[in-house]
Amino acid sequence: MRNLWSVALCAVLLTGCMSAAEHRAAVRDDSADRLTAGKVQREIKVGMTTAQVAEVLGSPNLVSTDEQRREVWVYDKVATESVYSTSTGGLGALILGGAGSGGLIGGGLGGGSYNQGAGAGSTTQRTLTVIIKFDEQSKVRDFAYRQSSF
């Protein structure tokens, strides 16, 4: 019986205890077609056509030309992630009393409770800028990217 109470007490203590990082991981969208620096590194190669780049990265945010009238594509992505996590844990305290006049031998159940709430919040911004320069045949001649997180 004592082991059953220990297990029940542990279960009550652990209920609702999730860190802000765990909450953030649960809501973060890490879909495969999201534009990332790793995707640019893996997928974009010198010599690719504009159609191949568009297939991998999608439509650019900006299309312009350089001084020699060659196309330059710019992908500019900004992500803001705001997370607020709250956790509440409760502890129903069981107090075993001693024998008293009119009480049960071995103790009775007394009541007590303890509730605690906690919360944490954070906001993170990530930026990724990708610049792809094409040659006269509309093939990638150079590309660069820059990412930041703050």
Domain boundaries along the sequence of the chain: 2-149
Instruction: Determine the pLDDT at residue 14.
Output: 55
Quick check: 87 and 117 in contact, CB under 8 A?
A: yes
User: What torsion, rounded to 10 degrees, do the Cα atoms 123, 125, 126, 130 define?
Assistant: 160
113-147 tens-digit pLDDT: 555 567 788 899 999 999 999 999 999 999 999 99
**Between residues 8 and 122, which one has the greater pLDDT?**
122
21-78 tens-digit pLDDT: 665 665 565 554 688 999 999 999 999 999 999 999 999 999 999 999 999 999 999 9
Instruction: Determine the pLDDT at residue 142.
Output: 98
Tokens of 130: 């990708």
